[in-house]
Chains A and B, each alone.
Chain A
């Protein structure tokens, strides 16, 4: 059965800290892995990863995929209170092009 597991489920850090969020997966016919940030109702797209070992960066956020070990990490450096959100990981399968979602990591940044 396909599954995506995110860890930790929740995390509380202080402003300025660096955090690493994890996403591991077991999905047949892997196509891509996507990261989203959800603050309100609609998740905001962050990254799409398809190739192993290539880091994607956007400001203080970066992500990398390891297709051999079947996981991805999302790094946030110099965290700010505005980074507080639920971070979702989803894997797209080539089998039916549907998304398998992780449960999310709830990140709280304290001032």
Chain B
């Protein structure tokens, strides 16, 4: 089946630094990838839709200058959390879209100290 990976799986950083999270579709090409945040026991919150070769579409309330998304190829999308603050600490999940089905990545836990 289609597999999506994320790297790193966990990251701890200091407040004010930037963190890049990679999302890769390993065995399929994903023209569209989605980025989510999740808090414990809560639904996934869609942050943005990333289309290969074009600008990402951000959901209302998500700062595009803070959460930079780049979808440079059909198998890689990156999310950069710029000038991270403790309130950005969360579980970030990506998914790749192919033929009407979404395949979810394992997630990246970000802790900002």
Provide the residues of chain A in CB contact with B1, threshold 8 Å.
Answer: 103
Q: How far is the CB of B47 from chain A (nearest CB, A)?
A: 10
Q: Chain A interface secondary structure, helix, strand, loop or mixed?
A: strand
Question: How far, in Å, is A99 (CB) from chain B's closest CB?
Answer: 5
Question: Could you mark each residue 61-94 of chain A with 1 if its beta carbon is under 8 Å from any beta carbon of chain B, else 0?
Answer: 0000000000000000000000000001010000
Task: Give the residue name and chain of the A residue nearest to B39 (CB).
Answer: A45
Q: Smallest distance from the beta carbon of B22 to chain A beta carbons, Å?
A: 14
Q: How large is the interface on B (under 10, 10 to 19, 20 to 34, 35 or more residues)?
A: 20 to 34
Expressed in whole angstroms, the Cα–Cα distance for A36 and B38 within the complex equals: 12
Looking at A36, A44, A99, A103, the one whose CB has the most chain B CB atoms below 10 A away is A99
CB atoms of B104 and A45 under 8 A apart:
no
Check: A25 CB closer than 8 A to any chain B CB: no
A89 shortest CB reach to chain B, Å: 11
CB distance from B38 to the nearest CB of A (A): 8
A: number of interface residues (CB 8 Å)? 18
Interface 1/0s, chain B 52-74, versus A by CB < 8 A? 00000000000000000000000
- When chains A and B are docked, how far (Å) is the Cα of A4 from the Cα of B102? 15
B13 is an interface residue with CB less than 8 A from chain A: no
Pick the contact of A42: B10, B45, B106, B107 (CB < 8 A): B45
Q: Are A96 and B10 in contact (CB under 8 A)?
A: yes
Q: Quick check: B41 and A99 within 8 Å, CB to CB?
A: no
Nearest A residue to B36, CB-CB: A42
Which of B10, B46, B93 sits near A99, CB closer than 8 Å? B93
Alpha-carbon gap, A29 to B20, bound state (A): 27
